[in-house]
Amino acid sequence: MNREIAVVAFAQTDHRSTSEELSEVEMLMPVLHEVLDGTGLKTSDIDFTCSGSSDYLAGRAFSFTLALDGVGAWPPISESHVEMDGAWALYEAWVKLQTGDADTALVYAYGKSSPGSVRDVLTRQLDPYYLAPLWPDSVALAALQAQALIDAGRTDEPALAAVGARSRTAAADNSHAQLRGSVPQGEYLVRPLRTGDCPPIGDGAAAVVLAAGERARELCARPAWIRGIDHRIEAHGIGVRDLTDSPSTRLAAERAGVFERPVDTAELHAPFSSQEVILREVLRLDDGVDVNPSGGALAANPVMAAGLIRIGEAAARIHRGESDRALAHATSGPCLQQNLVAVLEGDPR
C-alpha cells in the first residue's frame, strides 16, 4: 500500500557564524524560493507544508509563525510544525503523502544560533528534574559519551581528530559549509573533546520538496525515492543508556531497510566526531561507503536544519547521478538521543 515518495528538490543557505543582518524569515525566504524554482512549483501548488525550528535558539517567540510569512501562507495553507530538526518535519510530510491526502510537500527548517549561547540553550531540552538544573551543556554531554568510547577502546583522540579533519577536507568542495579545508584541532572545549571535534556554531536554513509517484517524475529528472524511513528514541535517562552504542539508530536502520543491500553514500548527522564513530559501527558502513561527502555537521551545523540537510545532500547526489542508493541519518537531543534513518534510491541508469 506504500506510495512511492521522492525528494525532488533541495536548497540550503550558506551556513555562516552569524546572520545578524537578517531576521529568520529574511534568512529562510531565498531558500524557499530556490527550492520551489527547482521544481517550477508555486506555493499554491504545494499540498502540505511542514517545518522544523526552535524559538529558543534566537530567543524570538513564535518565530515559526513569522517564518510562514516567507511561504505565502494566505489564503490559509495546510501546514504543520515540529519543534525538532527538519528531518522530523520531513517524516511528518512523508506520512501525510502516504495517507494520499497530499501529492506534494514543502519541508523546511532553519536555525539562528548566533543571537544566543546554543550550548546553554540546549540544556533546556533535558530532563527538567534531574538534568536541567545542573546546566550540563551539549559539549559536556558529548564529551561524556566520547570518554566512554575511549575507555571502551573504540577510539582515541587522534582518531577523533581524523574524523573532523576528513569532514572539513570533504567540505572544501561544499560552498555552503561553514568550516572548509584545514581547520586546527584546537584546545579542549570539554576534555576529551577539542574544538575540532565539535560542530561550528552558526545560522542557516534548508528546504526540500517531496512528491509522490508520477508527480515526482514530472518534477525531477531523477527523483531520490525514499525506500524506507524510520525514527526511534533511547531511554531519556542518560545514565540508563550504554552511551557507546546507538540501538535506536540500529533499529531505525533495520526498519528503513538499510541492511538489505549496500549503500554507496551515507550522510550522517554526527555533530561530534565521537558520534560518527558510533554511527559507522551501528550502520555497518565500511570503507567502500562515501561517508559525509558534504562535510557533514562538523563542517556546518545549523541547529534544527542540519538533519534535514543530510537528507537533502543525499538526495542531491542521487539527483546528480553521483549515488544510486544513499543512507541519510538525522539526530536530535543529547548523545544521539533520537535518530532518524532514511534510504534513498535513484532509478536505474
Partner 1 sequence: MSAILKAPLTVEFPFTRSLGPIQSAFLTGLRERVILGVRTGDGRTLVPPVEYDPVTAEEIRELVEVAPTGTVTTWAWNHAPRRGQPLATPFAWVLVKLDGADTGLLHALDASGPDAVRTGMRVRVRWAEERSGAITDIACFEPYGGEAAEAEPEGHSGEFDDPITGIVAPARLDYTYSPGRAQTGYINALVERRAVGERCPACRKVYVPPRGACPTCGVATAEQVEVGPGGTVTTFCIVNIKAAHTANLDIEVPYVYGHIALDGADLALHGRIAGIPYDQVRMGLRVEPVWTEGARYPDHYRPTGEPDAEYDTFKELT
Contact status: 247 vs partner 1 (CB under 8 A): no
Contact status: 238 vs partner 1 (CB under 8 A): yes
Hey, is 69 helix, strand or coil? helix
Residues contacting 130, CB < 8 A, separation 6+: 237
Contact status: 307 vs partner 1 (CB under 8 A): no
Contact status: 210 vs partner 1 (CB under 8 A): no
Closer of 270 and 343 to partner 1 (Cβ)? 270
Give the span between the Cα atoms of 282 and 329, in whole angstroms.
Answer: 12
Give the span between the Cα atoms of 243 and 76, in whole angstroms.
Answer: 44
Q: Which long-range contacts (CB under 8 A, 24 or more apart) does 71-75 make?
A: 71/32, 71/43, 71/106, 72/43, 73/43, 73/49
CB of 34 to partner 1, least distance (A): 13
Contact status: 267 vs partner 1 (CB under 8 A): no
Contact status: 23 vs partner 1 (CB under 8 A): yes
Residue 83: how many other CB atoms lie within 10 Å: 14
Binding segment for partner 1 (CB under 8 A), chosen from 15-23, 79-87, 278-286, 309-317, is 15-23
What is the separation of C-alpha 241 from the centre of its chain, rounded to a whole number of angstroms?
Answer: 23
Binding segment for partner 1 (CB under 8 A), chosen from 2-10, 71-79, 317-325, 341-349, is 71-79
Pick one of 147, 169, 185, 195: the residue that binds partner 1 (CB under 8 A).
Answer: 147
- Nearest alpha-carbon partner for 168 in 176, 180, 158, 178: 180
Pick one of 34, 66, 213, 281: the residue that binds partner 1 (CB under 8 A).
Answer: 66
Contact status: 153 vs partner 1 (CB under 8 A): no
Cell numbers linked to 39: 521544481
Contact status: 235 vs partner 1 (CB under 8 A): yes
Tell me how long the chain is.
349
Closer of 99 and 129 to partner 1 (Cβ)? 129
Judge whether 108 and 63 are in contact, CB under 8 Å: no
Binding segment for partner 1 (CB under 8 A), chosen from 147-155, 172-180, 213-221, 253-261, is 147-155
Contact status: 29 vs partner 1 (CB under 8 A): yes
Pick one of 7, 93, 190, 314: the residue that binds partner 1 (CB under 8 A).
Answer: 190
- Nearest alpha-carbon partner for 220 in 44, 35, 1: 35
Contact status: 124 vs partner 1 (CB under 8 A): yes
Contact status: 72 vs partner 1 (CB under 8 A): yes
**Which residue do the cell numbers 568542495 mark?**
173
Q: E strand or H helix at 205, and its extent? A: strand 203-212
Q: Which residues bind partner 1 (CB under 8 A)?
A: 20-26, 29, 32-33, 43, 56, 58-60, 66, 68-74, 115-117, 119-121, 123-124, 128-137, 140-141, 143-148, 151, 188, 190-193, 235-240, 243
